[in-house]
Amino acid sequence: MSTQPSTRIPAEEYLARERQSKSKSEFHQGEVFAIGGASQNRNLIVVNVLTELRSQLRVGTRSASMIF
């Protein structure tokens, strides 16, 4: 359990901060939590892997539309 005091902010303040921020965060009941972001390179890798998997499934007996 955290011993740090909880600081709550209004949603409007969170949105203003989020627009200016380079990193992303999540807002829940007045509290802000940092979240990890994906880089453009990571996203490209994911797309390429999924594309290849879908291509391989089409060759097999299962339809890719059943998975994705």
Q: Are residues 26 and 57 in the same domain?
A: no
The secondary structure of the chain in percent helix, strand, coil, rounded to multiples of 5, reads 50, 10, 40
User: Token match 């939590």: residue?
Assistant: 33
Rounded CA-CA distance 17/4 in Å is 21
pTM: 0.45
Residue-range definition of the domain harbouring residue 4: 1-36
18 and 48 both lie in a single domain: no
Share of the chain above pLDDT 70, in %: 75
- Could you report the per-residue pLDDT of 47-67, keeping only the tens digit for each? 999 999 988 887 665 555 555
**Does one domain contain both 42 and 31?**
no
- Cα dihedral angle (61, 65, 66, 68), rounded to 10 degrees? 120
Residues 19 and 29 reside in one and the same domain: yes
54 and 25 inside one domain: no
Please indicate, yes or no, whether residues 26 and 12 belong to a single structural domain of this protein.
yes
Residues 30 and 48 in one domain: no
